Amino acid sequence: MHAKQSLHTGFVSILGLLLVWGGLLSASGVARGQTSYEILHAFTLGERYPTGVIQDSAGTLYGATGSGGAADAGTVYKVDASGVFTVLHSFTGFNGFPSIDPYGGVIRDSAGNLYGTTFNGGAFGAGTVYQLDASGVFTILHSFDGSDGGTPIAGVIRDSAGNLYGTTFNGGAFGAGTVYKLDTDGRFTVLHSFNYSDGGSPFAGVIIDSAGNLYGATSQEGAFGYGTVYKLDTSGRFTILHSFNFLDGSDGAYPNGVIRDSAGTLYGTTINGGEFGGGTVYKVDASGRFTVLHSFNGSDGATPYAGVIRDSAGNLYGTTSLGGPTAYGVLYRLTLAPAALDCSTATASVDFSQLGNRHRYPVTISGITAPPGDTVSLTITSIFQDEPVVNPTGKTCSDGIGVGTAVAKVRNERLLAGDGRVYHIGFTATDAAGASCTGEAKTCVPAKEGEACGDQGTLFDSTVCP
């Protein structure tokens, strides 16, 4: 464990610096009307390898340095709105490990407590998760022992309940790193151990959506050995969204972290690969489709160690560590062509509160791809089902209504001897510019709660009443 760890230390120090530099430049590139550049603090030899910063409502910036401080083991610091720099904590090393190396930066809660990780140190020398409270009291929340992960490069994120989530570069059940959770009671849980076939050695941490699902990227391994993009849902189900294949020269290799937009599309970069070998910017949409948005060719940059950020118009910003006019990297903006209206990604869902109660319920159609900020309206064009429309009493049909309106409603009913009923909802989507597309989305009334439906193929018009 520790031998492997030492091989990465020098590289990770450089990586941490590049990630921070990239993140700061990306953020500054978004600001409109920026006319001046100001150094708020110049780090000294005793404050080396600064990470990215966060800002509170008073304008105070917080961050960490990978080395330096009283024991040359790193620091947590702040710079207030007037420019005063203060070291909040100097790491001292634990159990004979003199370097703590907090490469992942810090996050802050509403009470002013800071949270982060260290690459080394702790009770077992494999890194820690820590808290630095508003009064300056430092607490190790968890010491990694290798079996539960080790040497985290990324910091942590925090959900609305106060639980922390992160990744480790090494360790876990297979030695390839982990995704973990640390709850507010201090309970530590390994949510996933990477097994090489599904990825390994994540540089980056995770992001979380409103439903609590986690998303991230591994820098190595996967089906082709060059990293993966993944999703880990709230039930613990792990899904590879994409495996990078450097060998075919197209999609990139060694991905950094990801961001996510309101439509569920993930965006990220790869350090190498792509059409020219200099790395890529890519997206993975909510249906799992992977697209290379840009391949760096050297003259426009190369080798991005940082990910991207996204503005409200959908433009992406980031940095490369090499290439460009000076060969020392670039700050770039990637303006995406407006997405064409696409109905093929649509899905349908119905909240049947009581299975088989024969009431009609509205169908929610979502997932239509549209340009950022575009308004889309729906018109229902057809409703079909894979079971015959039965009318033994004259009171239970039609099974579907809403054709010609914006909302379809379907009956919560299925044949008792069948394998569930599948409704096929046809629709037309129209955006504010007048562009339109047509599509079909399916939803199911299961034979039994929790079961999947079997689509029988032959369709019957749900809107008729025999």
Q: Is the pLDDT of residue 36 over 70?
A: no
Rounded to an integer, the average pLDDT of 329-344 is 83
**Cα–Cα distance, 147 to 152 (Å, whole number):** 13
Task: HSE, CB side, 13 Å, CA atoms: give it for residue 64.
Answer: 32
Q: With bands split at pLDDT 50, 70 and 90, how would you rate the model's confidence at 302?
A: very high
1 or 433: which carries more pLDDT confidence? 433
| Sheet with 308-310, side-by-side order of all strands | 308-310, 316-319, 331-334
Rounded to an integer, the average pLDDT of 90-94 is 77
Q: Is the pLDDT of residue 243 over 70?
A: yes
**pLDDT score, position 159:** 95
CA angle 22, 25, 29 (to 5 degrees): 135
Q: What is the pLDDT of residues 259-288, one digit of tens each?
A: 999 889 999 999 999 999 999 999 998 888
Residue whose entry in the numeric block shows the structure tokens 């000076």: 326
Q: With bands split at pLDDT 50, 70 and 90, how would you rate the model's confidence at 337?
A: confident
**pLDDT score, position 355:** 56
Q: Is the pLDDT of residue 29 over 80?
A: no
**Cα–Cα distance, 78 to 55 (Å, whole number):** 9
**Cα–Cα distance, 162 to 184 (Å, whole number):** 6
Q: With bands split at pLDDT 50, 70 and 90, how would you rate the model's confidence at 37?
A: low
**pLDDT score, position 359:** 84
Q: Is the pTM of this model over 0.75?
A: no
Element at 14 (helix H, strand E)? helix 2-30
Element at 28 (helix H, strand E)? helix 2-30
Range 106-124 burial, b when 16+ CB lie within 10 A, else e:
bbbeeeebbbbbbbbbbeb
**pLDDT score, position 395:** 57
Q: What is the pLDDT of residues 165-224, one digit of tens each?
A: 999 999 999 999 999 999 999 999 999 999 999 999 999 999 999 999 999 999 999 999
Beta bridge partners of 436: 430
Tell me the domains of the chain and their CATH numbers: 2-334 (2.120.10.30), 347-461 (2.60.40)
The three-state secondary structure class of 278 is strand
C-beta neighbour count of 228 within 10 angstroms: 26
**pLDDT score, position 17:** 32
**What's the start-to-end Cα distance of the chain, in Å?**
72
C-beta neighbour count of 320 within 10 angstroms: 26
Of the candidates 239, 183, 231, the residue with the CA atom closest to the CA atom of residue 211:
231
Q: With bands split at pLDDT 50, 70 and 90, how would you rate the model's confidence at 428?
A: very high
For residue 431, give every residue at least 6 positions away whose Cβ sits within 8 Å of its Cβ, in sequence order, or none: 341, 370, 371, 374, 375, 376, 377
Q: Is the pLDDT of residue 164 over 80?
A: yes
**Cis upstream peptide for 287 (omega within 30°):** no
Please give the C-alpha separations between residue 230 and each of 144, 214, 245, in angstroms, as whole numbers.
23, 8, 15
C-beta neighbour count of 136 within 10 angstroms: 9
Q: Is the pLDDT of residue 27 over 90?
A: no
The three-state secondary structure class of 334 is strand
Q: Can you read off the two tokens belonging to residue 314?
A: 């959908």
Q: Can you read off the two tokens belonging to residue 113?
A: 């407590």
Beta bridge partners of 448: none
Tallying the residues shown for the chain, one arrives at: 466
Rounded to an integer, the average pLDDT of 134-152 is 93
Strands (E) across 301-420 are located at: 308-310, 316-319, 331-334, 347-349, 360-362, 364-366, 376-385, 400-401, 409-411
Residue whose entry in the numeric block shows the structure tokens 């961001």: 259
Cβ-based burial of 353 (10 A; exposed 0-12, middle 13-18, buried ≥19): exposed
Q: Can you read off the two tokens belonging to residue 419?
A: 């394998």
Q: What is the pLDDT of residues 281-293, one digit of tens each?
A: 999 988 888 999 9
51 or 435: which carries more pLDDT confidence? 435
Rounded to an integer, the average pLDDT of 304-333 is 88
| Positive/negative CA dihedral, 26, 32, 34, 35 | positive
Q: Is the pLDDT of residue 439 over 60?
A: yes
Of the candidates 120, 99, 144, 92, the residue with the CA atom closest to the CA atom of residue 4:
120
Tell me the pLDDT of the chain averaged across its residues: 84
**Cα–Cα distance, 243 to 198 (Å, whole number):** 8
Q: With bands split at pLDDT 50, 70 and 90, how would you rate the model's confidence at 375?
A: confident
The amino acid at residue 262 is S
Q: What is the pLDDT of residues 363-372, one digit of tens each?
A: 999 888 877 6
Q: What is the CA radius of gyration of the chain?
A: 26
Q: Is the pLDDT of residue 39 over 60?
A: yes
Q: Can you read off the two tokens belonging to residue 288?
A: 């799992």
The three-state secondary structure class of 8 is helix
Of the chain, the percentage scoring pLDDT greater than 90 comes to 48
Going by the DSSP 8-state scheme, the letter that residue 9 receives in this structure is H
Q: Is the pLDDT of residue 30 over 50?
A: no
**Cα–Cα distance, 44 to 21 (Å, whole number):** 16
